[in-house]
Amino acid sequence: MASSTQGLARLCHPHILRLVEVIDSEEILFIISEYVRGGNLLDHLMEHGALTEEEARGRFRQLVSALQYCHRRAVIHRDLKLENVLLDLAGSAKLADFGFCSLEPSGPLSTFCGTPGYMAPEVMQLQPYDGPPADICSLGVLLHAMLAGSLPLWGEDFHAMQRSMLLGAYSPPRLVWRQCARLLRGLLTLDPGKRKTLQEVMFDPWVNWSQPRLRPYREPPADTMATWGTNEMLKAHQPQGGGHASPPSSLPSNKAQCCRASPHCTAWRRALEPRGRRAGSEPVLPTWLREAGRQQPSKKPQSGPKAAEPDGTLPSLDWGPATPSPAPP
């Protein structure tokens, strides 16, 4: 859990689930994150079937951008799978669940973790492995699943999956462009040293077909993020007097310990600030949150009208169908 919160706390990307706050009440650890309404990619595929290449390309570009950003910030995900890709109401993908992530690895990793069916061959062989190539192999599994509606690797148990993977007999989904099939083979090759890098993926012709060339994501300057998300919800939760509350560096020992998110995400923090808090004042753990682990509510509370969702989101990479264009050679 510590690695999950530490990993998310250093990330602020439009296609990564945003960590808002972590509250440690000594009895319960509360993780407050962005709410993504559209469910996960697995449920979407089970309900609607495989994606078209245009749809898969758009979401794949978003995941490539998110993963490249993670690796640039020395965060290795290690559990890329359909369930860990969330979709918002616009259909944009958001990478989630950093529970197995590795932070700033200084050498090969040895922890066996992840989900069978998505693991890289070197991980399934229980060998030391480099984090980025292992993530890239799992990314290839995601692309195959989006295009085929199923995983490229099947087996009744882990050992059957392991044997199937080590055979190296990968077949791309039917009826995909040759460039897409070539990309998939480059992502899912057995030898991690010959596997495509994220830089190569960002230059790939299929990835950039009918789209602007994919480039590494750049965080907006921290001072410009103060104006990001200026909607009615944010205005309603600003402290009286028009100022912004400054989060304290530490809290007294008799109060909940808070570990806050990246300074680039200040707008979402302000959205959660209680109305009327004075600048510099210390946040107090709400009563309902303090008592949550000690007693269960006597009856389910009545559901009232839902608050408006903040519209101040970071700009998303387009995923929808592009302007019709002829197929690549």
Q: How far apart are CA 215 and CA 163, in angstroms?
A: 37
Catalytic residues: 79
The answer to whether 184 and 140 have CB atoms below 8 angstroms apart is yes
List C-alpha distances in Å: 286 to 232, 291, 302.
23, 9, 20
From 216, 45, 234, select the one nearest 145 (Cα to Cα): 45
Dihedral of alpha carbons 64, 163, 171, 48, sign: negative
- CA dist 131 to 112, 122, 161, 248, 276, Å? 12, 10, 21, 35, 46
64: β partners: none
User: Which region holds residue 317: left if phi is over 0, alpha if psi is between -120 and 50, else beta?
Assistant: beta
Residue with tokens 């609607």: 48
